[in-house]
Structures are given as C-alpha cells and as structure tokens.
Structure 1
C-alpha cells in the first residue's frame, strides 16, 4: 500500500507534532521520509510508520545546515523518485526572559526554527518546481502573529516564517506555478518539548491551556497538504481567539499577557531535562520521547474550530470568525477584571 502513496517529507519527525504527522500520513499509505537529529526517536518513528501502513525512510539531519538539508532532500528524491509534500516542522526554543538568552542561543533557535524552514523550503522547491507540482506546509503557531513573554526567540522565528511564507506564496502565484505553499497555525500542543527545551524559568515549562493532543495538529497538517490552495489554517479556538484579539485590541492583549502569561507557561516540579538546543534530546544514549508530552490528562482530542477551518466551504468562514470574536470578548472581559 505504502509504495503507491505520496512521497512525503516531515522535518522534526522524531517526536511531538512531527511524529504524529508522520503517522497520520503513513495511515494513508504514504511513503514518509523522517528528518531529524535524534536517532532513537527516528528509529522508533520509522517502526511506527511501517506498522501504520506507510513506507519509512530515515534521514538524520540538522535543519540549520543548508548543505545537509539539500543532501537529505536528494536522498529522499533518489529513494522515492520525487517529493510530493514537504512539511517544515522542526524547531528549537528557549524559555527565558530575553535578557537571559545568550546571543549564541538566540542565533541557534533562529537557525533551526526559521532558517531550517527556509532551507527545507528551498530544498523542496528544487525538486518540486521542475515537475510543477507539490505542496509545502509550514507548521506555524498562534505565536507567528502574537508574541508572548519568555519565548522571544521562538516567537521571532515563527513571525519570520510567516513573512517568508507570504512572500514565497505571492511569487509562486505570480509565476503561475503548480507548487503550493500553505501554513498551519497551531495552538498549545501536548508534546515532549516542554521537558527537553532549554528552560530558565523558576518552574517547569508547560503549554498555556487549552492544550490539544498532537493528533489534532497532525490531522490539520495532512488536510493542508491535500488542499494546499488555502493560504493558512487555524487550529483550535484559542488560536482563533488570539489572532483576532491581536488584530482588534493588540494593546489590551499586551497587558493581559504581561499579567498572566509567565505563570501560565510553568508549573511546579523539577526541570532541567536533557535539552535539545545543541544536541538531540534522544541520543545517542537518550530515549525515545514519542509524540505525547506529560499532559494527556488535560489535552483534548478534538477541535471544533479545526473542523470548521477544514470544512470552510461547507459551513462558511463566518463561523470561524464568529467563534473567534466570542472567544476574544471573553478575553477582553478577563483583562478588565
């Protein structure tokens, strides 16, 4: 079955959203190239992809290395014959006040998260443009539009991806290319990153509620890959609320986040896990972290807003906006109180 599916590349595929996304493509019988640094996670992901009905190709690569990314793309093209879908998901982050992040750390986050996306996109286009088809999916975040405290490096990189993707999309449209690019803006997701990210906060890092399971993100990414003409998808009511509130009352949102966001991003407990800024958290003597983090008890498995976004043509975009406006009003009431 897998030999007849699409040829898909997923970066950051060893854990979290990337891991869940690789499995979602595999369940459709696709051939999936798994790109990441960590060998333990990649090996486990490849096994899961094959058991799910797909065909797996493991390529160990640091997305901040442009030449290595080009070489990885060529390996995929040699193995699969072509590349139909490329998902840019790899990222790095630091939980700390801006003044506590060193220049080298900030540069590293930017190189992995932003330039990794740029290098991945360039590599994908090298193979897609000659065949005049293919879809590139940029995995974004509500933080691509709305920065929050203690994640300045990550927010800056996601903002950069947003601008880069818009520019590229316009160029492809201008050229009449059959290659598509789209972006999926995610909410807080239950992934292992909160136990391996570099953290200088007093407490243990956590996602800001509501928290969604990585499979919710994966469904949206797979859908976006199949319907690449859409410029972007919003996943989760919290994403819609954040983006609409930021467009309507950004100053009010500044004050709300200044007051609440630091506490919302941490909980009690020991932290200082393996870290993955400079080396993969799962190797060479680490462990496989899988797709899920430690928040299964509170994470939700469905998103009404995501369903609306994926079926916009049937139910109308007004419902998405309306849901976001209602959520934004609740936010503004919370700020006032």
Structure 2
C-alpha cells in the first residue's frame, strides 16, 4: 500500500470535498475533514473510516483566519504533520450582480477566496519547516471565464488563480520542496444547487455537460501526488471553455449573454419547489451550514445523477500525460527503427535495378 499521508480537505461535508475525502481514504490516508456542517461532517467521517482511512472532524468556518490556524494545529496534534492540504470550501449567490447585497458579496469572497488564502497560510506554516507538502487549490473553468449570475463566485475563483500563481512563484524562488497546484473543474453534480442562495425565478442548475463528483475527486488525488505540474484541467467542457476564452473572448461574451441565464435554470421548475428537496429560508447556506438544525446529510451527489457523466476521457489524458508521452516516444522509436530496417532493403533493390 502507498504511504499513509495526513490530508486536510476543506468543504468536506458534501459535494466534491466529500468525494475527495473518500478517495484519499481509499488509499489508507488519514483525512481531516473541515467544514461547518456537523451532520455532513459526521457522515463523511463514517465514509472515510469505511473506505479504510482514519478520520478527524474539525468544524470550522474557513472565513475565520484564526479558526483555520487552530484547525491546522489540531490536525498536526492528531496526525503529527500535514502532507496534503486541499482547499475546496466555497459559497455562492445566484443572482444578477445588482441584486447581490454588499454583505452577501463580501461573504462569498471571504469564504471562497480568503478561505483559500487562510488555508494556504495555515498549511505553509506546518509544511515549510519540514520542506515538504502539497497544496491543491480546487478551481473551476470559471477561474478564467466569468459567466452571468455568478459574479461573486467567478471573481473569487479568478482571485484564487492569481494568488496561487504568486505563491507558487515564491516557493520556486526559495527552492522549497513544498508545491502548490490547481485543478480546474467543469460543472459537477453536487448538492450545492439545492442549498445555494438564489434569487432566480426557477431552480438553478449546473451548465451541461455535468460530471459526477468522483471525476473531480480522482483528479484532485492525482494532483496531490503530482503537484509539480502547475495546473490540471478536468473535463472536455473545461478545455473547450478555456480555449474559446483565450481565442475569442468577445464572441464568448455575446454567446453567454444569450444562453447563460437559461442554461443555469431548470425550465418550468419554480424555486419554491426546492423546499421539497432542501432547507431553503431565503439565505441558502451563505451564513449557516446547509444541514443546520435539521439534521440532514446531503452527501456528495446532487439531483442530477441521471444526466451526469461518471468519467472523462480528457481527465484520464490529463492524469496520464506523462505515460502517454512515453508511449508516443516508444512508438516513434519503433517506427523509426522499422524505417531504418527497410532502408537497406530499398538500397539493395535500387542497386539490383541498376545492375540489370
């Protein structure tokens, strides 16, 4: 079995964080689960144990810098070290920018962006003295390409991108063996679409194609083991979005202006219908955990299992790029050898032709 690592996963009570915690546990790792929701954390801890890992539950608001530092110290006290820190916790608001209050925008920024800043700082505090460790920033195609109705979230993801590049350069300058990497995700089938604060007239949904959270989890675990690579793109839609944004951002602006509103809402499904599926009190999970006083565990998957993809050929290529490169090199060498073997025969035939 691979060496047991001490891993921290933020936002571990549901969605991608929940699936990622299970994936690390399947390796036998010790996993610290950081989030606010106590019921989701307790269920996640049970899954980690069942998968073969060791679980540590730490209830923390990632927007609280001191609380995050204390959480990191608890992990070190329990596990003796931190080998991997996965920043994943986030919050969001689905609404046009002019309908998001300043306090709501600030809260999304504090959780989604500053939560990564505080998590990275806490991880480095314990990794730098050991001169080893990996920090994985869970990003999104929206770290490069903003879309309508998610201005606060897109702004935070853009900020994480710039922050991570800056820290990565500083670590390289110092010759540190601590590494940071970023995993850019596509739309994922998580419960966030039932608990997120929304002011849209219909229930919100991810933009298709949608991938299962286990696809993201595999990429995150791989990135943690190979953090020298600066970035991983998961899903063909992520690649298409980032390439299109690099080549024709203005055209993409107009396309998203036409399609972005409808693509993020379920036609004919009124927002009030969400009350049948999740707690909804007008504030989503922005200020309080989604499970709250209701004692409900949402798990890793959202309500889109029927249309979500369990795998991604692009994600496999991304994880196996080195192996594919080696295979192409071997194939090229074999083709060259075959060509060289044919050349003497061709030369013999030419000489024979000249003789006759």
TM-score range, shorter chain: over 0.9
1:311 matched residue in structure 2: 320
Matched, 1:10 2:19: no
Q: Which runs of 5+ in 2 are unaligned?
A: 273-278, 329-356
Offset, 1:313: 1.7
1:74 matched residue in structure 2: 73
1:171 matched residue in structure 2: 170
Q: Which runs of 5+ in 1 are unaligned?
A: 320-337
Offset, 1:202: 1.1
Matched, 1:271 2:280: no
In structure 2, distance between residues paired with 1:32 and 1:313: 28
Matched, 1:188 2:197: no
TM-score by length of 1: 0.92
- Tell me the secondary structure at the aligned position of residue 204 of structure 1: strand
In structure 2, distance between residues paired with 1:122 and 1:315: 35
In structure 2, distance between residues paired with 1:284 and 1:162: 35
Question: CA contact under 8 A between 1:195 and 1:271: conserved in structure 2?
Answer: no
The one-character-per-residue Cα deviations of 1:208-237 (angstroms, maximum 9, x if unpaired) are: 000000000000000000000000000000
What is the aligned counterpart of 1:293 among 295, 302, 305?
302
Question: CA contact under 8 A between 2:223 and 2:232: conserved in structure 1?
Answer: yes
- Tell me the secondary structure at the aligned position of residue 52 of structure 2: coil
In structure 2, distance between residues paired with 1:254 and 1:316: 35
Matched, 1:228 2:227: yes
Question: CA contact under 8 A between 1:91 and 1:112: conserved in structure 2?
Answer: yes
Offset, 1:312: 1.3
The one-character-per-residue Cα deviations of 1:166-208 (angstroms, maximum 9, x if unpaired) are: 0000000000001000000000000000000000111101000
2:127 matched residue in structure 1: 128
In structure 2, distance between residues paired with 1:82 and 1:278: 31
Question: CA contact under 8 A between 2:207 and 2:263: conserved in structure 1?
Answer: yes
Q: CA RMSD in A?
A: 1.4
Q: Which moved more, 1:203-212 or 1:266-275?
A: 266-275
What is the aligned counterpart of 1:280 among 276, 286, 289?
289
In structure 1, distance between residues paired with 2:311 and 2:61: 32
Q: Which moved more, 1:180-189 or 1:271-280?
A: 271-280
Structure whose CA Rg is larger: 2
In structure 2, distance between residues paired with 1:50 and 1:222: 17
TM-score by length of 2: 0.87
- Tell me the secondary structure at the aligned position of residue 233 of structure 1: strand
Listed as ranges, the matches of 1:1-337 within 5 Å are 5-267=4-266, 268-271=268-271, 273-274=279-280, 275-316=284-325
Offset, 1:247: 0.4
Offset, 1:54: 0.2
- Tell me the secondary structure at the aligned position of residue 243 of structure 2: helix
Offset, 1:283: 2.0
Alignment coverage as a number of residue pairs? 317
Offset, 1:316: 4.6
